[in-house]
């Protein structure tokens, strides 16, 4: 019996000794807790020129769609003096290599038209002939970009240009535009039976043209555009944002977004955000007025609160196309001003998201005197990225690398940390909330190993009593 007890005691010591060593290692920050933890996930972004000179002619007032795994460019104006519009079709799987699907689609050559994907077809609506200023009120659809159906004709809405279209699963909406100088605030809805229904007027937003409309968070949105105030003969560029669940009842998300009032801009949904890019507005009144084109980039999670990204590296432009395709945000063509003259563009740019994170040795709380290191981690950022760490919204002097390190944290280090990404990329890392406490922190590994050790002792004691 005595020999059996001595043998059991030996087995308990043999099992428990490694646990004691691991427990000590965990309490000193080694071994079990050496791996980092993610405190915050975010996306950084960078621009890339994918094609400086696409095979389609420089153009403005064209449209672009993501359809069946391809990027499509349809129509537009390819000359400004005299104006000349086209009805060609181009597609690409990568934004770099392009194929001409058709030199002349059956719909008339046009610019300032609108397009959308609805019920697994591409739809082209309205617009203007650049050569003779004829306005259209037709609606064409295609299942493949090669075969087009003119649909039911005539449609109940008037000819117009600068119109916007948006679609969800059940309805296609056509909003606003202008008819030979008359600016419109009407909304028409096409249902699954291909029947047009006029949404009961009046809508609360001002009549407008060259605005943007899209679906975001199961809601229909209208953003910006130009309004002509007939009583004062003033052109008014708008920066209001409206939304509606059905096209009938409208809510104003903001009367004045952070971005300047504009028209001929683009808006799209990308990375679960609304984006507004470029456009134009008239600066000043009377003989001294002049046209301003933009290359600014804005985004919003809710349509009311807008954040400005750094200006894009592409030339300021209007009448361009932008859309989300293949996990990136694309900008194609448009009009810019160089040497006091208009220039048509055929370049293709894309904005690439990069998944990033803020990492640390462990989650809060940290103990006073403990080392603290925050690290912005992630693959694929281009050269030339800059960093600026912030604490509670205030820049930390000299903290301009991808790591923020405190050799011995004090309670004053408690706060919310972010890191502004700049240079060749942009984004905001964080927030990562750090709590520094004078209280003794019990490491997770210590708690687990301590429990395991107590379990071994308990089982051994029970066996010894037998």
Give the Cα separation of 233 and 387 in Å (integer): 48
Q: What is the pLDDT of residues 274-306, one digit of tens each?
A: 999 999 999 987 788 889 999 999 999 999 999
Domain boundary among 354, 389, 419: 354
Give the Cα separation of 123 and 325 in Å (integer): 18
In a domain, 364, yes or no: no
The side-by-side arrangement of strands in the sheet containing 385-391 is 394-395, 385-391, 415-423, 427-434
The domain tally of the chain equals 2
Phi and psi based region of residue 230 (left: phi greater than 0; alpha: psi -120 to 50; beta: remaining): alpha
Average pLDDT (320-332) is 98
Shared domain for 260 and 175, answered yes or no, is yes
State the chain's mean pLDDT as an integer: 88
| CATH number of the structural domain spanning residue 222 | 2.120.10.80
The rounded Cα 247 to chain-centroid distance in angstroms is 24
Shared domain for 91 and 6, answered yes or no, is no
In a domain, 405, yes or no: no
Give the Cα separation of 211 and 265 in Å (integer): 7
Shared domain for 251 and 136, answered yes or no, is yes
Q: What is the pLDDT of residues 82-92, one digit of tens each?
A: 789 999 999 99
Q: What is the pLDDT of residues 204-230, one digit of tens each?
A: 999 999 999 999 999 999 999 999 987
Q: What is the pLDDT of residues 253-269, one digit of tens each?
A: 999 999 999 999 999 99
Q: What is the pLDDT of residues 369-394, one digit of tens each?
A: 999 999 999 888 899 999 999 999 99
- Whether residue 200 is predicted with pLDDT greater than 90 in this model: the reply is no
- The per-residue pLDDT for 440 is 66
Shared domain for 130 and 85, answered yes or no, is yes
Shared domain for 256 and 172, answered yes or no, is yes
In a domain, 382, yes or no: no
Provide the domain limits for residue 301: 45-354
Shared domain for 140 and 248, answered yes or no, is yes
Shared domain for 316 and 456, answered yes or no, is no
In a domain, 331, yes or no: yes
446 three-state secondary structure: helix
In a domain, 38, yes or no: no
pTM: predicted TM-score of the whole model, two decimal places:
0.86
Q: What is the pLDDT of residues 44-81, one digit of tens each?
A: 999 999 999 999 999 999 999 999 999 999 999 999 87
- The per-residue pLDDT for 5 is 45
Cβ-proximal residues to 427 (8 Å cutoff; 6+ apart), any chain:
42, 43, 44, 45, 354, 356, 421
In a domain, 396, yes or no: no
| Cβ–Cβ under 8 Å, residues 112 and 161 | yes
In a domain, 83, yes or no: yes
Ranges assigned E (strand) in 219-320? 219-229, 234-244, 251-254, 266-270, 273-283, 290-300, 307-309
> Would you state the structure tokens that stand for residue 437, as one six-digit string?
């406490």
Shared domain for 216 and 249, answered yes or no, is yes
Shared domain for 2 and 80, answered yes or no, is no
- Whether residue 25 is predicted with pLDDT greater than 90 in this model: the reply is no
Shared domain for 237 and 280, answered yes or no, is yes
Domain boundary among 285, 320, 354: 354
pLDDT above 90 coverage of the chain, percent: 78
Identify which of 229, 256, 253 has the alpha carbon closest to the alpha carbon of residue 242: 253
Give the Cα separation of 337 and 121 in Å (integer): 35
- Whether residue 26 is predicted with pLDDT greater than 60 in this model: the reply is no
Shared domain for 222 and 345, answered yes or no, is yes
Spell out a b/e string for 149-186, using b for 16 or more CB atoms within 10 Å of the CB, else e: eeeeeebebebbbbbbbbbeeebbbbbbbbbeeebbbb
Domain boundary among 354, 376, 407: 354
Shared domain for 118 and 173, answered yes or no, is yes
Residue 459: band (very low, low, confident or very high) from pLDDT cuts 50, 70, 90? very low
- Whether residue 441 is predicted with pLDDT greater than 70 in this model: the reply is no
Identify which of 270, 143, 247 has the alpha carbon closest to the alpha carbon of residue 190: 247
- The per-residue pLDDT for 431 is 95
Give the Cα separation of 40 and 37 in Å (integer): 9
Q: What is the pLDDT of residues 329-368, one digit of tens each?
A: 999 999 999 988 999 999 999 999 999 999 999 999 999 9
Spell out a b/e string for 366-390, using b for 16 or more CB atoms within 10 Å of the CB, else e: bbbebebebbbebeebeeebebebb
Give the Cα separation of 298 and 306 in Å (integer): 6
- The per-residue pLDDT for 166 is 98
In a domain, 413, yes or no: no
Spell out a b/e string for 21-44, using b for 16 or more CB atoms within 10 Å of the CB, else e: ebbebbbebeebbeeeeebbebbb
């Amino acid at each position: 019996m005595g020999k059996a007890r001595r043998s059991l005691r030996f087995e308990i010591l043999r099992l428990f000794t490694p646990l004691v060593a691991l427990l000590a290692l965990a309490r000193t920050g080694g071994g079990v807790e050496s791996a980092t933890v993610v405190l915050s996930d975010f996306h950084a972004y960078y621009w890339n020129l994918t094609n400086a000179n696409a095979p389609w002619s420089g153009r403005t007032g064209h449209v672009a769609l993501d359809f069946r795994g391809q990027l499509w460019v349809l129509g537009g104006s390819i000359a400004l003096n005299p104006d000349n519009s086209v009805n060609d079709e181009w597609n690409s799987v990568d934004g770099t290599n392009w194929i001409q699907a058709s030199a002349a689609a059956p719909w008339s050559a046009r610019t300032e038209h609108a397009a959308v994907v609805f019920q697994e077809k591409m739809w082209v609506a309205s617009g203007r002939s650049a050569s003779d200023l004829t306005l259209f009120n037709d609606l064409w659809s295609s299942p493949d970009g090669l075969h087009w159906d003119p649909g039911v004709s005539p449609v109940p809405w008037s000819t117009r240009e600068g119109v916007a279209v948006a679609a969800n699963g059940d309805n296609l909406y056509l909003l606003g535009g202008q008819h030979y100088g008359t600016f419109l605030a009407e909304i028409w809805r096409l249902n699954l039976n291909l029947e047009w229904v006029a949404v009961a007027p009046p809508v609360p937003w001002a009549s407008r043209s060259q605005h943007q409309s899209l679906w975001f968070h199961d809601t229909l949105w209208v953003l910006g555009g130009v309004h002509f105030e007939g009583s004062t003969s003033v052109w008014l560029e708008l920066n209001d944002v409206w939304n509606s669940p059905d096209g009938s009842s409208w809510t104003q998300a903001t009367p004045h977004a952070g971005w300047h009032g504009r028209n001929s801009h683009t808006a799209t949904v990308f990375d679960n955000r609304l984006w507004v890019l470029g456009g134009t507005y008239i600066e000043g009144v009377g003989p001294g007025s002049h046209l301003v084109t933009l290359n600014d980039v804005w985004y919003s999670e809710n349509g009311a609160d807008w954040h400005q990204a750094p200006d894009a590296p592409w030339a300021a432009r209007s009448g361009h196309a932008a859309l989300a395709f293949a996990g990136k945000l694309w900008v194609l063509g448009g009009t810019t001003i160089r040497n006091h003259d208009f220039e048509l563009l055929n370049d293709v740019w894309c904005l690439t998201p990069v998944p990033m994170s803020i990492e640390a040795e462990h989650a809060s709380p940290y103990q006073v005197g403990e080392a603290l290191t925050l690290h912005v981690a992630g693959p694929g950022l281009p050269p030339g990225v800059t960093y600026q760490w912030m604490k509670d919204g205030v820049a930390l002097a000299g903290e301009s690398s991808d790591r923020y390190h405190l050799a011995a944290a004090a309670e004053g280090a408690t706060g919310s940390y972010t890191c502004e990404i700049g240079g060749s990329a942009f984004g905001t890392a964080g927030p990562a909330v750090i709590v520094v406490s004078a209280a003794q922190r019990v490491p997770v590994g210590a708690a687990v190993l301590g429990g395991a050790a107590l379990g071994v002792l308990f089982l051994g004691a029970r066996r010894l009593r037998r």
